[in-house]
Amino acid sequence: MNVLKCKECGHIDSIQSIELITERFPVHVNGDEIEVDSSNGKYIYSEIECFMCWVCESTFGSDKESIEEMIVEIEG
């Protein structure tokens, strides 16, 4: 089985993508207030900002090639 191993701290399966996400939400007028229905969003687009190790908080760029060298095989 292949997993990602952080090249800074050596932790296994600690790499996460940090993403900017665009969603749209319904907006309503309630008296004088404008309310956003944040429970009813629709995903539009996301972009990877970077990859990050959640253990040591090192970042590794935004393209998948930045972390491909961290792929290791483990028995399992």
What CA–CA distance (Å, rounded) separates 4 from 9?
A: 12
What CA–CA distance (Å, rounded) separates 39 from 22?
A: 15
What kind and span of H or E run contains 65?
helix 65-68
What CA–CA distance (Å, rounded) separates 17 from 47?
A: 10
Q: At residue 76, does pLDDT exceed 80?
A: no
What average pLDDT does the chain have? 94
Residues 32-75: tens digit of each pLDDT: 999 999 999 999 999 999 999 999 999 999 988 888 999 999 88
> What pLDDT does residue 66 have?
83
Residues 16-44: tens digit of each pLDDT: 999 999 999 999 999 999 999 999 999 99
Which are the contacts of 65, defined by CB distance < 8 A and separation ≥ 6? none
